[in-house]
């Protein structure tokens, strides 16, 4: 090593144009390889995420329970106010159940309408009789 510092390159802390071009080429190559890997690993963009079905099922169950609970609470309050125990409680529990079922049917119809394009675009499976 010489003490003059001439063997350090153009200037200390600077990158030569050749080295800069080589780094850009390597970064571009690495970026394109990463894009290829990401495209191979990317899940198909079909349907809702994996945990969405559990969330929808939980929502449906909660809607039914809440409908019955709210109906029961309203019936209980009215029974206390009007002194008609237990008739309004029973009536409003039944109405709450009916309202919960109506919400569940609406939710199921909406979910079916959203899933229909995915079902139509899915490839059909061959039947055993089709292979003969």
pTM: 0.57
Instruction: Provide the total of helices (H) and of strands (E) in the chain, helices listed first.
Output: 3, 0
Please provide the average confidence, as pLDDT, over all residues in the chain: 85
Within this chain, do residues 34 and 65 fall inside the same structural domain, yes or no?
no
Within this chain, do residues 100 and 65 fall inside the same structural domain, yes or no?
yes
C-alpha dist (Å) from residue 100 to 11, 37, 64, 86, 112 = 77, 47, 4, 21, 18
- The confidence score (pLDDT) of residue 1 equals 43
Within this chain, do residues 114 and 61 fall inside the same structural domain, yes or no?
yes
Within this chain, do residues 71 and 102 fall inside the same structural domain, yes or no?
yes
**Residues 21-70: pLDDT tens digits?**
999 999 999 999 988 888 888 665 566 677 888 898 999 999 999 999 99
Q: Pick the closest to residue 91 from 112, 110, 108, 76 (CA basis).
A: 76
Within this chain, do residues 62 and 115 fall inside the same structural domain, yes or no?
yes
Give the number of other Cβ atoms within 10 Å of residue 57's Cβ.
10
Within this chain, do residues 57 and 96 fall inside the same structural domain, yes or no?
yes
Structural domain containing residue 89:
52-121
Look at residue 46 and tell me if it is in a domain.
no
Question: In angstroms, rounded to a whole number, what is the distance separating the alpha carbons of residues 67 and 41?
Answer: 43
**Residues 73-84: pLDDT tens digits?**
999 999 999 999
Number of domains in the chain: 2
Question: In angstroms, rounded to a whole number, what is the distance separating the alpha carbons of residues 90 and 18?
Answer: 86
Question: In angstroms, rounded to a whole number, what is the distance separating the alpha carbons of residues 67 and 100?
Answer: 5
């Amino acid at each position: 090593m010489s003490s003059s510092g001439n063997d350090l390159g153009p200037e200390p802390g600077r990158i030569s144009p050749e080295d800069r071009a080589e780094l850009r080429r390597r970064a571009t190559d690495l970026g394109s390889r990463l894009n290829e890997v990401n495209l191979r690993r990317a899940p198909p963009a079909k349907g809702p995420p994996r945990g969405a079905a559990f969330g929808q099922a939980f929502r449906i169950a909660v809607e039914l329970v809440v409908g019955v609970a709210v109906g029961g609470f309203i019936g209980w309050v009215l029974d206390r106010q009007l002194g008609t125990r237990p008739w309004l409680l029973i009536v409003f529990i039944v109405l709450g159940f009916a309202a919960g079922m109506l919400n569940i049917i609406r939710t199921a119809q909406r979910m079916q309408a959203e899933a229909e394009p995915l079902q139509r675009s899915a490839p059909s499976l061959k039947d055993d009789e089709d292979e003969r």
